[in-house]
């Protein structure tokens, strides 16, 4: 039994403690490019991004968070490596969370300075390890596996705990799906800090989404994971879309769920295209509704059991629209978009 993680607030978003799983992504822009960063942040927020992370490479980046947040209401995370001064500057600059590795930002004195700034500001910190940054001592003792990966992350958390910081989020990432899952299971059994989960360096949009869906999905089904990032070699927007789709597939987010049949020889209309259009149309809807787009009325209505609203091909250029399994109207394919999307809007209003 995995214990519930403790609650940590990243700006207005609360994670852990039974709060909804948050979708995170990482910008490829520098936060100091505020003009473009603001536009991107708004776009990502509109797509359903809950938390946005930036790599901080200099003082200008570190000082940009408050500026972006003036225009976009989205929790922002500063990702810092090797330089404690940048961590201090990002905390000062309005970051809602920082991501560091205490082992590489300086010595004990520097870590203490960052810990003091974290406590003063009240913002949380993410620490962790990935398969490429396993601590040498654990690598020698356990080899490259979930134990060495998990212990490396827990050691980083312990360094900050020693300095009085307990507002911590942990991650243990690998590109290997099985190792990722095992490492998070290992850590989840040993800490109640919230976990940021995902398969890292997962690959292209297609393969990376598959790998993350398996890894993140396996963990979320076990109750492990409080924020997710689908790491993809693809536009940032794709990461957010994939993250939201994973939550939707697991019924962990509000919104429209589309049921669509794979079609077969009984399908006599462009069901697949219309399913895509319906998915686009309903993206961002907050109401929980199940919408079915089915190839034929012969089996489609029965097969889409549980759908609030649906459409199925009826042959001869026509489709039937049904509500809770009952046909309410017959529509020509040319009129279908207008009529069906109108019915969806009605369903949302009710």
**Other C-beta atoms lying within 10 Å of the C-beta of residue 71:** 13
Q: How far is the CB of 260 from ligand SF4 (least distance, A)?
A: 9
Nearer to ligand SF4, 58 or 273 (CB): 273
Q: How far is CA 269 from CA 74, 125, 313, in A?
A: 42, 52, 6
Q: How far is the CB of 289 from ligand SF4 (least distance, A)?
A: 20
Nearer to ligand SF4, 225 or 295 (CB): 295
Which sign does the torsion angle of CA 81, 83, 86, 92 carry? positive
Nearer to ligand SF4, 22 or 261 (CB): 261
Collapsing DSSP to helix, strand or coil, 118 comes out as: helix
Rounded CA separation 41/49 (Å): 9
Task: Write the CB contacts of 258 (distance below 8 Å, at least 6 apart in sequence).
Answer: 275, 278, 279, 282, 291, 292, 293
Q: How far is the CB of 81 from ligand SF4 (least distance, A)?
A: 51
Binding site for ligand SF4 (CB under 6 A): 261-264, 266-267, 294-296, 298-300, 303
CB 256 within 8 A of CB 289: yes
Nearer to ligand SF4, 100 or 293 (CB): 293
Question: Helix-strand-coil percent breakdown of the chain, rounded to 5?
Answer: 45, 20, 35
**Spatial strand order in the sheet of 196-197:** 168-173, 125-130, 97-99, 76-79, 51-55, 22-26, 227-228, 196-197
Nearer to ligand SF4, 22 or 314 (CB): 314
Structure-derived torsion over alpha carbons of residues 274, 279, 280, 285, reported in degrees to the nearest 10? 140
Q: How far is the CB of 181 from ligand SF4 (least distance, A)?
A: 33
Nearer to ligand SF4, 48 or 300 (CB): 300
Residue with the CB atom nearest ligand SF4 in the bound state:
295
């Amino acid at each position: 039994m995995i214990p519930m993680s403790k609650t940590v607030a990243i700006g207005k978003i609360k994670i852990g403690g039974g709060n909804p799983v948050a979708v995170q992504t990482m910008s490829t822009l520098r936060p100091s490019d505020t003009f473009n960063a603001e536009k991107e942040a708004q776009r990502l927020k509109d797509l359903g991004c809950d938390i946005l992370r930036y790599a901080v490479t200099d003082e200008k980046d570190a000082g940009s968070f408050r500026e972006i947040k003036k225009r976009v209401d989205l929790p922002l995370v500063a990702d810092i490596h090797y330089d404690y001064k940048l961590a201090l500057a990002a905390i000062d600059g309005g970051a809602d969370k920082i991501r560091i590795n205490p082992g590489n930002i300086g010595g004990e004195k520097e870590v203490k300075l960052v810990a003091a700034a974290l406590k003063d500001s009240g913002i949380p910190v993410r620490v962790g390890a990935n398969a490429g940054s396993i601590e040498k001592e654990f690598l020698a003792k356990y080899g490259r596996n979930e134990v060495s990966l998990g212990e490396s992350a827990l050691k980083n958390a312990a360094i900050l705990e020693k300095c009085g910081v307990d507002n911590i989020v942990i991650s243990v990432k690998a590109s290997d799906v099985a190792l990722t899952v095992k490492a998070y299971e290992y850590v989840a059994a040993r800490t109640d800090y919230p976990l940021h989960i995902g398969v890292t360096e997962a690959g292209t949009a297609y393969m990376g989404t598959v790998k993350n869906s398996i890894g993140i999905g396996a963990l979320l089904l076990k109750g492990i994971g409080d924020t997710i990032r689908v790491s993809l070699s693809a536009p940032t927007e794709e990461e957010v879309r994939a993250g939201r789709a994973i939550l939707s597939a697991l019924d962990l987010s509000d919104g429209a769920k589309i049921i669509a049949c794979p079609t077969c020889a009984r399908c006599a209309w462009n069901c697949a295209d219309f399913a895509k259009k319906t998915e686009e149309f309903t993206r961002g809807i907050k109401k929980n509704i199940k919408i079915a787009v089915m190839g034929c009325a012969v089996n489609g209505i029965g097969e889409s059991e549980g759908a609030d609203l649906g459409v199925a091909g009826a042959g001869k250029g026509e489709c039937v629209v049904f509500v809770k399994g009952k046909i309410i109207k017959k529509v020509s394919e040319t009129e279908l978009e207008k009529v069906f999307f109108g019915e969806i809007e009605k369903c949302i209003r009710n």
